[in-house]
Amino acid sequence: MWHHVDCLGTPSDTAQDEYLEQRRLATPEYLETPKIILDVALQPTSRGGLKGFTAGNIRIVSIARRLSSSPEDRKSIETSPWMAAHLIEQEKVGVTDSEWENWLKGEFGMDEDESYEPLVVKDQLYYTCPVCTSDELI
């Protein structure tokens, strides 16, 4: 559902990074979730079009939201052939946020080219939904 910004009222005074940290601390399963996955999972979604880029971010946000609540899915990716090859190539021992970011970008064919939407859009404003008055992201 889309709304004109004027219909949304005043945005929250909470900065995006602060909001994400509050959500992480308030949700027990998020405490074990890599930060980059939460950064992607807890951002607002766009479904595409001229202002939301060609494909939007709904697919990547949906995958990140699933990973944020499923340690089993994260473990499956951490032990995948792709991650093993990546760790060997990068000469690293363990999976860090950087490896998760590379996996997410690789999974969706993103690279550093500016024609792609960034993995995480920073400094977004958060509004309360005018329909349901929830601050949950959709």
**Mean pLDDT across the chain:** 80
Please tell me the pTM assigned to this model: 0.74
Question: Between 110 and 137, whose confidence is greater?
Answer: 110
Q: What is residue 122's predicted lDDT score, i.e. its pLDDT?
A: 74
Residue type (1 letter), 74: R
Question: Between 28 and 2, whose confidence is greater?
Answer: 28
Name the band, by pLDDT with cuts 50, 70 and 90, for residue 53. Answer: very low
Q: What is residue 43's predicted lDDT score, i.e. its pLDDT?
A: 81
Whether pLDDT at 40 is above 80: yes
Q: Do residues 37 and 75 lie in contact, with contact meaning Cβ atoms separated by under 8 Å?
A: no
Q: What is residue 113's predicted lDDT score, i.e. its pLDDT?
A: 61
pLDDT tens digits along 78-130 = 999 999 999 999 999 999 999 999 999 888 877 666 566 677 777 777 766 66
Q: What is residue 1's predicted lDDT score, i.e. its pLDDT?
A: 53
Neighbours of 122 (CB within 10 A): 10
Q: Do residues 101 and 120 lie in contact, with contact meaning Cβ atoms separated by under 8 Å?
A: no
Helix then strand then coil, % of the chain, to nearest 5? 50, 0, 50
Q: What is residue 11's predicted lDDT score, i.e. its pLDDT?
A: 74
pLDDT tens digits along 65-82 = 999 989 999 999 999 999
Q: What is residue 116's predicted lDDT score, i.e. its pLDDT?
A: 62
Instruction: Please classify residue 96 by burial: count the beta carbons closer than 10 Å to its beta carbon, then call 0-12 exposed, 13-18 middle and 19+ buried.
Output: middle
